[in-house]
């Protein structure tokens, strides 16, 4: 029974780490383009840069992680922004299919690594106590 509960908990945890990226799948199917520009360069931060564009009177901004190409970018460079016309808050400065490929799949959140570490210490102490009591 315990093994079954542990397996169910592990499956739920892993299932929670899967990013279906449904909004990007929708963006791949239905998108429009807008002209944007490079607004911020943070190449020292894993090659991240930010783009900015205006749509429906609102200024919108989004990040791009591009370690290989960040150094070639300059502030003000033109970029093509892809957005979903029915949900304009979903936008990317890379082709929608490429964005979907990058973002869908299993992504273990940072907090989970701390949780695993927090469980590992008492678990290893418990195993050590069990071993010493058998002798």
Q: 3-state SS string over the chain?
A: CHHHHHHHHHHHHHHHCEECCHHHHHHHHCCEEEEEEEEEEECCCCCEEEEEEEECCEEEEEEEECCCCHHHCCCCCEEEEEEECCEEEEEECCCHHHHHHHHCEECCCHHHHHHHHHHHHHHHHHHHHHHHHHC
pLDDT digits (tens, 9 = 90+) for 56-78: 999 999 999 988 889 999 999 99
pTM score of the predicted model: 0.67
pLDDT digits (tens, 9 = 90+) for 88-102: 999 999 999 888 888
pLDDT digits (tens, 9 = 90+) for 12-57: 666 666 667 788 889 999 999 999 999 999 999 889 999 999 999 9
Q: Is the dihedral of CA 28, 34, 35, 40 positive or negative?
A: negative
In whole angstroms, give the CA distance from residue 84 to residue 17: 25
Overall average pLDDT of the 105-133 stretch: 79
| CA distances (Å), origin 118, targets 3, 6, 108, 115 | 21, 17, 16, 5
């Amino acid at each position: 029974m315990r093994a079954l509960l542990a397996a169910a908990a592990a499956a739920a945890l892993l299932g929670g780490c899967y990013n279906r990226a449904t909004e990007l799948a929708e963006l791949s199917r239905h998108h429009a383009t807008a002209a944007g520009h490079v607004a911020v360069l943070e190449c020292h931060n894993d090659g991240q840069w930010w783009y900015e564009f205006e749509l429906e009177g609102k200024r919108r901004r989004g990040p791009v992680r591009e370690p290989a190409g960040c150094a070639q970018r300059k502030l003000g460079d033109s970029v093509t922004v892809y957005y979903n016309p029915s949900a304009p808050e979903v936008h990317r400065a890379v082709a929608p299919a490429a964005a979907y490929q990058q973002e869908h799949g299993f992504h273990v959140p940072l907090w989970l690594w701390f949780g695993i570490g927090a469980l590992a210490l008492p678990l290893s102490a418990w195993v050590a106590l069990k071993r010493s009591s058998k002798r």
